[in-house]
Amino acid sequence: MGESYRDLIAWRKAMDLVTDIYRATQAFPRDELYGLTNQLRRAAVSVPSNIAEGQARFSRKEFHHFLSHARGSLVEIETQVMIAQNLGYLSPNQTQFVLAKTAELGKVLNGLIASTKTAA
């Protein structure tokens, strides 16, 4: 666990996802600023933040805990992106782009979570 959170592939991919979410939500209706736009952005920011905070902790158990929170935020994003598409705020292409990114990040996160579970 000696590496920095910035060295983690999961953190880097999560940071990219934040940028993608902010860009995707820029075109959301103004009346959604404190609704779905805010929810999506907060969930997106939560993913790399939890990865970083967990990496900074002194135990694998705590790291695992924060990675689980990051995973929860990731599925929150997936759900909210589908809601945004249903409301016509995102095109099917935009939705597929973001969901492909979340699926890829989910696999990386799941691997990291598994490694914190099995390691001593």
| Alpha-carbon torsion angle 65, 57, 100, 18, nearest 10 | 120
Identity at 32, one-letter amino acid code: E
CA 47/CA 106 separation, integer angstroms: 11
pLDDT tens by residue, 6-58:
999 999 999 999 999 999 999 999 999 999 999 999 999 999 999 999 999 88
pLDDT for position 120:
45
Backbone angles phi, psi at 70, to 5 degrees: -60, -40
Task: Give the torsion sign (CA, 19, 42, 100, 23).
Answer: negative
Type of residue at 50 = N
Specify the higher pLDDT residue, 3 or 102: 102
**Taking a C-beta distance cutoff of 8 angstroms, is the pair 70, 46 a contact?**
yes
Output the average pLDDT for the chain: 94
Count how many residues are written for the chain.
Answer: 120
What CATH number does domain 5-118 carry, 2.60.40.1930, 1.10.510.10, 1.20.1440.60, 3.40.50.300? 1.20.1440.60
Q: What is the pLDDT of residues 72-91, one digit of tens each?
A: 999 999 999 999 999 999 99
Domain ranges of the chain: 5-118
Residue that is written with structure tokens 């999961």 in the block: 10
Round to whole Å and give the CA distance between 98 and 91.
Answer: 11
For residues 51 and 69, is the Cβ–Cβ distance under 8 A?
no
Rounded to the nearest 10 degrees, how much is the dihedral formed by the CA atoms of 15, 17, 19, 25?
Answer: -150
